[in-house]
Amino acid sequence: MPVPMEYRLASQNFEQFLAEVAEESGLGTRNQAFTTTEGVLRCFRRRLDIHDAIAFAQVLPAMLRALFVQDWDSTSKRIETWDVDVMTSEVKSLRVNHNFSPDTAIRDVVRVVLRHVDLVAFNRCMEKLPAEARSFWS
- Domain range for residue 115? 5-136
Query: pLDDT tens digits for 83-112?
Result: 999 999 999 999 999 999 999 999 999 999
CA dist 122 → 34, 59, 105 (Å) = 21, 6, 20
DSSP 3-state assignment of 64? helix
State the CATH number of the domain containing residue 84. 1.10.490.110
In 3D space, the residue among 75, 44, 49 whose CA is nearest the CA of residue 60 turns out to be 44
How many domains does the chain fold into? Answer: 1
Cβ-based burial of 62 (10 A; exposed 0-12, middle 13-18, buried ≥19): middle
* Residues 90, 88: Cα–Cα separation, whole Å: 5
Q: Are 132 and 82 in contact (CB under 8 A)?
A: yes
Please report the pLDDT score of residue 31 as a whole number. 96
pLDDT in tens, 33-65: 999 999 999 999 999 999 999 999 999 999 999
